[in-house]
Each structure stands twice: as C-alpha cells, then as structure tokens.
C-alpha cells in the first residue's frame, strides 16, 4: 500500500515537472516570436535622438507619437508627401469589394458543384482547382493585357478584378468542401417544395455557411491586403495599395533615415490583418474543423 502511494506521488511530481517544463518552453518560444513586434512598437514611439543613443531593446524613455502622425499624413513616398493615408484607403477600397465578390462567387460555384451536380462537374472543379497552383508571376503579362483591353489598367477596380479572379479558385475550394458535408436531403426536400436554385442557396445553404464564410473572409482579406506584386505591377502613383507605398516610403531617402517613421508605417500597414486574426482567429480554426478542409 505504501509503495503504491509513493509511486502515485512520484508520478504526480514528474507530471507537474513536465507541465512546468512545457509551459516554460512555450513561454520562451512566445517571447522569441513576439520580440520583433516589441522592438517595432518601441522604436516607433521613440524620437531619433533616443534611437541613436539608446539600446535597441530598451523601452522609450518618453512615449512620442510624432512618428505615427508623420507616417500617416506627412511622409514623402516617392515624389509626393501625403503619408500612408491615401494608400491605406486605396487598399481598403480594393480589399473589401474583392473579398465580398470572390466569396459570393465562390459560394455559388461551390454550391452548384455539390448540390446541383451535372455532367463534367468534377472536370470543371479540377480546372478551377488548378488555378490555386498557378504562380503569380505567370499571369502578370496576360493579366496586364486583359486590364488594358477592359480599360481598367492602373485603377482600383482593376486590382479588385485581379484579386477576384485569382481568389476564386480558393473560395470555390473552401465552399465546395464545406457543402459536401451538408446532407443532400435538405436540397431535395426544398426542390420538392418548389424552391429553385437561388432560393435554396439564399434560404438554406447561405445561413448554414457562417463558419466557412468566416474562414474565407480571413483568408481572402489577408491575401489581398498583404499583396505586393499585383499592386506594384498593375498600379502606379496615387493608385497604389498601402503595401507598395510602405516599400516606397522605406526606400525613399530624404536626408536623415527615420527608423521610427518606418516602424510606425509598418505597424499601420499590418494593423488590419493583425486585428482580423486577433478578433476572428478562433473562428478561423472552428471554420476549418467544421469542414473547410474536408471532402
């Protein structure tokens, strides 16, 4: 009996030691990964004199937000000194409609490929899926030519079109794999009751699609907002998205290098995607486990 109690006590002790070791290791890795963000935030709140004389990892002696104001509205990007503000709104005007349109088209396409099956549906899905594996660089020239023919070259609507076309294979894949897990009997019952294609989609399928809609919004918004290549290739001047403007700001040499301004501008550019993951990250995981990668 005493030996059994001693064995149980030893096992509990080792279990606690193991948990402490795991949590310590996780804390070390978390600190390692968050350290660059801490440095960026800290540097953005320092003035130039403190950056030159202080330690890189030191906290600001006094919080100074002048760099944020300068980066937002006064910093010179190329030949213009308007800050990131107009380019930030360019990205917002590009990302929001592109996300909404690509999600709607992907939902309808995925619904048609799963619940209203027709001859050649698998072939069409395979062709759409192939679009997920086409590198960005391959489509630059034909896409630029197409935008020129359509008269939307070097415009925000042109960028919206590019991201909708390139994002449609991914949104179709997400919704198709999600709808596969919804019972076909729901659609059959609605069809017997006289509901048509779009009635079933709006009143049955779409209300059941909230988990995968959240997943697709996060995926598409992140991909579109963070894109640099399409923005640099298909726009110029005042029509560029904020990621291209950030690159131009960092590489613009107008006297003294303002590291605090560069850090503030980087945080402003990354803020929307960071906020999306902070507030909706858990729904992203739930949506994936609800069927986004099944089927």
Instruction: Summarize pLDDT for 94-113 with one digit per residue, the tens.
Output: 999 999 999 999 999 999 98
Q: What is the mean pLDDT of residues 199-206?
A: 89
Give the mean model confidence (pLDDT) for residues 270-288. 79
pTM: 0.85
Answer yes or no: do 193 and 248 share one domain.
yes
Residue 261 in this model has a pLDDT that exceeds 60: yes
Domain annotation covers residue 18: yes
Domain CATH number, residue 213: 1.10.3720.10
Would residue 69 count as lying in a domain?
no
Report yes or no on 153 lying in a domain.
yes
Residue 128 in any domain: the answer is: yes
Task: Give me the helices (H) in the chain, please.
Answer: 2-44, 48-53, 66-73, 85-115, 121-130, 136-150, 156-179, 184-192, 197-200, 210-226, 229-234, 242-250, 259-287
CA distance 41 to 47: 13
Does 150 lie in the same domain as 31? no
| pLDDT surpassing 90 at residue 234 | yes
Task: Give residue 10's pLDDT.
Answer: 60
> Domain check: are 156 and 234 in the same one?
yes
What domain count does the chain have?
A: 2
Q: Which pLDDT band holds residue 7 (cuts at 50, 70, 90)?
A: very low
Task: Determine the pLDDT at residue 116.
Answer: 81
Decide if 196 is inside a domain: yes
Q: Are residue 259 and residue 227 in the same domain, yes or no? A: yes
Q: Is the pLDDT of residue 44 over 50?
A: yes
Output the CA–CA distances (angstroms, integers) from residue 189 to 176, 181, 211, in the order listed.
20, 17, 23
Asked whether residue 169 is domain-assigned, the answer is: yes
Q: What tokens were used for 177?
A: 């794999």
Are 9 and 94 within one domain?
A: no
* Band of pLDDT at residue 9, cut at 50, 70 and 90: low
The residue range of the domain holding 32 is: 2-64
Residue 104 has, within 13 A of its CA and on its CB side, a CA count of 8
Residue 86 in contact with residue 241, Cβ under 8 Å? no
- The pLDDT score that the predictor gives to residue 196 is 85
Which positions ≥6 away from 136 have C-beta within 8 Å?
166, 229, 230
């Amino acid at each position: 009996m005493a030996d059994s109690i001693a064995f149980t006590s030893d096992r509990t002790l080792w279990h606690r030691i193991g948990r402490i070791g795991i949590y310590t290791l996780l804390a070390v890795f978390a600190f390692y990964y968050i350290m660059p963000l801490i440095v960026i935030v800290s540097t953005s709140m320092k003035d130039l004199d403190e950056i030159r004389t202080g330690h890189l990892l030191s906290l600001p002696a006094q919080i100074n937000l002048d760099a944020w104001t300068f980066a937002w509205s006064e910093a010179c990007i190329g030949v213009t000194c308007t800050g990131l503000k107009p380019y930030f709104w360019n990205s917002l005007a590009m990302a929001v409609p592109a996300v909404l349109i690509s999600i709607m088209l992907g939902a309808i396409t995925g619904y048609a490929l799963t619940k209203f099956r027709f001859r050649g549906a698998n072939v069409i899905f395979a062709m759409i899926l192939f679009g997920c594996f086409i590198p960005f660089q391959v489509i630059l020239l034909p896409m630029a030519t197409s935008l020129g023919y359509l008269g939307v070259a070097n415009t925000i609507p042109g960028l919206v079109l590019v991201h909708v076309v390139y994002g449609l294979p991914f949104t179709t894949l997400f919704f198709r794999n999600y709808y596969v897990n919804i019972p076909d009997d729901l659609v059959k019952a609605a069809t017997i009751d006289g509901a048509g294609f779009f009635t079933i989609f709006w009143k049955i399928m779409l209300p059941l699609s909230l988990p995968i809609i959240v997943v697709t919004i996060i995926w598409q918004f992140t991909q579109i907002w963070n894109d640099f290549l399409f923005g640099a290739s298909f726009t110029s001047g005042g029509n560029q998205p904020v990621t291209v403007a950030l690159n131009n700001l960092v590489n613009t040499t107008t006297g003294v290098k303002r590291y605090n301004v560069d850090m503030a501008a980087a945080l402003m550019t990354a803020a929307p995607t960071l906020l999306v993951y902070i507030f909706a990250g858990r729904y992203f995981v739930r949506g994936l486990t609800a069927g986004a990668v099944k089927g």
